[in-house]
Amino acid sequence: MKRRTMLAGAAALAVAPIVVPGARAQAGKTKIVFWHAMSGANGDEINRIARDFNAAQSAVELEAVFKGSYPETQVAAIAASRAGQAPHIVQVFEVGTGTMLAAGPAVKQVWQLVQDTDAKIDPKSYLPAVRGYYSLADGRMASMPLNSSTPVMWYNKDAFVTAGLDPEKPPQTWEEFVPAVQALKAKWASKSQDLVASTSAWLTWIQFETYSAIHNLPFATKADGFEGLDAELKVNGPAQVKHLQRLLDMSKEGTFKYTGRDGTPDPVFYTGQAAIGFGSSSGRADIVRNAKFNWAAAVLPYDPEIIKSPNNSIIGGASLWAMTAPKRTPAEYKGVASFLEFIGRPDMDALYHQDTGYVPVTLAGYELSRKQGYYDKNPGADIAIKSLTRGTVTVNSKGLRLGRLPEIRNIMYEEIEKALQGQQGAKQALDNSVARGNVVLRAFEKTAKG
């Protein structure tokens, strides 16, 4: 009997705090649930936005709920949607955009939401490179950009000085890059086993997706997938093969080091072990806090023989999707729309940008930050915006609209890692990536067409 009382006690202990909340919001208010994938300080920032929103108006009460990593949040939302219990808003990473667009009636795209609720959301107020990623081919917005970043090149100014390079003139082209890393290797990295001249995080996003975009080369046919589910990968073009070959050559001569997939190489730069680290602009906060050397950011180098003036870089990050559920009322959709309006306000956008290090997604938010003197106080923080607004947005630099993009990235990692180990050549690696990636695209096409 003792056991039973203990068990009951334990249950009561844990039940006690649950019963009260989770139920209906205060009288008269429409309750809106927002699932997100932001943890740590960025999670607190989402809670801050929720508080500000709830304080700014009285019709809607927004509850922000952490649901794990990006994939975990997305699958939780899908599972809930299939069970008729989707959250009102869910944050989905950029590579999940294709999946969400194929969701049909399970989501309400931003343009539909605007139509239904007369919300004041003007696509033109958003940075073209940001808006493009989350819009349909005809320009209608599908989801609301939130946290966005773009690839930049971080470099260690102290290392540049040691290597006899001008710390104010980072390499602008790959022609300049190669001798620069050779100098860094000879005069700086040779000092210790730990040091490498250069490394890259997010190898697929930065060196292939974005490389293709800034050189106005297609990553896939059908305008990188925007114009049809029957797109095929084109990333094995001569320019991309040449770029991979260059990375392989540099890896062989020790001027470039591959240090893992996705964001795992980030610490290699801010611990001072790499003189140049390609990474996401959102890594700035980590660098500010951890780097014990002088550093700066620069836009990505390019190949002038392919393009004279490079295009904008493409974004990464996540956007917000409005979801549908069987018994959802117009008032709830109105609440969702008012929240999306709220985060698109210039003051809110600028605040979020400055708090987190993500880029401002609206032109007005950028202007406001500039007027507030943010970039004077934080030199280099606007490199990401310069990179996103470089050149004009073309079909090749809008972003990628491919189903199962995470799997395609994964395939590319696998093939490139084999090439880096000397198991195959550059051409072979990208040919294999394209062949295997196309199988994935065809499978997705079949499910999306039904």
Partner 1 sequence: MERRTIFSGWLLPVVLVLPQLALTVVFFLWPAGQAIWSSMTRTDAFGIRTMFVGLENFSDLFTDPLYLDTIERSVFFCAAVAALSMGVALVLASAADREIRFRGLYRVLLVWPYAIAPAVAAVLWILLLHPQIGLIGRWLNSIGIPWDYKLNDTQAMLVVILASAWKQVSYNFIFFLAGLQSIPRAIIEAARMDGARGFFRFRTVVLPLLMPTVFFLLVVNLVYAAFDTFATIIALTDGGPGKATETLVVKVYRDGVVNLDIGSSSAQSVVLMAGVIVLTALQFRFLGRRSGGG
Partner 2 sequence: MNGRTDWFAHLVLCLGALLFLLPIWLVISGSTLDPAAIARGELSLVPRLSGLGVYASVLTQGSPGAGPVWRMLMVSAGMALAIAFGKIIISVLSAYAVAFFRFPFRMTAFWIIFITLMLPVEVRIIPTYTVMSNLGLINTFPGLTVPLIASATATLLFRQTFLAVPDELFEAARMDGAGPWRFLRDILLPVSAANIAALFVILFVYGWNQYLWPLLVATDPKLDTIVIGIVKMIGTETQTEWNRVMATAVLALLPPVMVVMLMQHWFVKGLTEGDK
When asked if residue 69 is in the footprint of partner 2 (CB under 8 A), the reply is yes
Which runs of consecutive H residues, i.e. helices, occur in 230-270? Answer: 238-253, 266-270
- Residue with Cβ nearer partner 2 (14 or 27): 14
d(CA 371, CA 196): 39
Residue 207 or residue 282: which is nearer to partner 2 going by CB? 282
Distance CA 41, CA 314 (A): 25
Q: Tell me which residues in 389-408 interact with partner 1 (CB under 8 A).
A: 404, 406-407
Tell the smallest beta-carbon distance from residue 440 to partner 1 (Å). 8
Q: Tell me the three state secondary structure of residue 120.
A: coil
- Nearest-angstrom CA–CA distance, 334 and 341: 10
Q: Which of residues 239-268 bind partner 1 (CB under 8 A)?
A: 258-262, 264, 267-268
Beta carbon nearer to partner 1, 208 or 444: 444
Q: What is the DSSP string of 381-424?
A: TTHHHHHHTSS---TTTS----TTHHHHHHHHHHHHHHHHTTSS
Which residue number, 20 or 55, has a Cβ lying nearer to partner 2? 20
Query: What are the contacts of 38-44 at 24+ separation with CB within 8 A?
Result: 38/66, 38/91, 38/147, 39/66, 41/285, 41/356, 42/147, 42/356
Residues 6+ apart with CB under 8 A from 258: 199, 200, 203, 251, 265, 416, 417, 420
323 binds partner 2 (CB under 8 A): no
Strand pairing class (151-156; 274-280)? antiparallel
Residues 270-299 that bind partner 2 (CB under 8 A): 270-272, 280, 282-283, 285-286, 289-290
Nearer to partner 2, 80 or 101 (CB): 80
The residues in 106-135 that bind partner 1, with binding defined as CB under 8 A, are 106
Asked whether the beta carbons of 338 and 107 are under 8 A apart, the reply is no
Decide: helix, strand or coil at residue 155: strand
Q: Which does 194 bind (CB under 5 to 8 A by kind): partner 1, partner 2, none?
A: partner 1
Interacting partner of 425 out of partner 1, partner 2, none (Cβ under 5 to 8 A depending on kind): none
**Residue window 123-142: x/- pattern of binding to partner 2, with contact defined by CB under 8 A:** --------------------
| CA separation for the pair 397, 256 (Å, rounded) | 26
CB of 324 to partner 1, least distance (A): 10
- Using CB under 8 A as the binding rule, whether residue 193 contacts partner 1 is answered as yes
Choose among partner 1, partner 2, none what residue 190 binds, the Cβ cut-off being 5 to 8 Å by kind. none
DSSP β-bridge partners for residue 277: 154, 199
Q: Which does 37 bind (CB under 5 to 8 A by kind): partner 2, partner 1, none?
A: partner 2
Q: Give the residue with the Cβ less far from partner 1, 278 or 302.
A: 278
What are the tokens at 42?
A: 């960025």
Smallest gap, in angstroms, from Cβ of residue 290 to partner 1?
Answer: 11
- Dihedral angle at the C-alpha atoms of 292, 294, 299, 305, nearest 10 degrees? -110
Report DSSP letters for 39-68, one per residue.
-HHHHHHHHHHHHHHHHH-SSEEEEEEE-S
State the Cα–Cα distance between residues 26 and 35, nearest whole angstrom: 20
Q: Which stretch binds partner 1 (CB under 8 A): 27-35, 55-63, 100-108, 119-127?
A: 100-108
Query: Is 317 in contact with 93 (CB distance < 8 Å)?
Result: yes
One character per residue 143-182, x = contact with partner 2 (rule: CB under 8 A):
----x-x---------------------------------
Q: Does residue 375 belong to the site contacting partner 1 (CB under 8 A)? A: no
Tokens of residue 365, six digits: 């938010």
- From residue 19 to residue 58, what is the string marking binding to partner 2 with x (rule CB under 8 A)? --xx----------x-x-xxxxxxxx--------------
> Whose structure tokens read 């490498």?
196
H-helix segments, 102-164 = 110-117, 128-133, 157-162
Query: Is residue 200 involved in binding partner 1 (CB under 8 A)?
Result: no
Q: Work out which of 43, 71, 123, 380 binds partner 1, going by CB under 8 A.
A: 71
Residues 6 or more apart in contact with residue 55 via CB below 8 angstroms = none
State the Cα–Cα distance between residues 291 and 148, nearest whole angstrom: 23
Q: Is 445 in the site for partner 1 (CB under 8 A)?
A: no
User: Looking only at residues 350 through 369 of this chain, which bind partner 2 when binding is defined by CB under 8 A?
Assistant: 356-358
Q: Give the chain's end-to-end CA distance (angstroms, integer).
A: 57
Which option in partner 1, partner 2, none does residue 205 bind, with CB closer than 5 to 8 A by kind? none
The answer to the question of residue 13 lying near partner 2 (CB under 8 A) is: yes
Please give the residue ranges that form the binding site for partner 2 (CB under 8 A): 3, 6-7, 10-11, 13-15, 17-18, 21-22, 33, 35, 37-44, 65-70, 72, 75-76, 78-80, 82-85, 87, 147, 149, 263, 267, 270-272, 280, 282-283, 285-286, 289-290, 356-358
- Return residues touching partner 1 (CB under 8 A): 71-72, 74-75, 78, 81-82, 99, 102-106, 193-194, 258-262, 264, 267-268, 271, 273, 404, 406-407, 410, 413-415, 417-418, 420-421, 423, 440, 443-444, 446-450
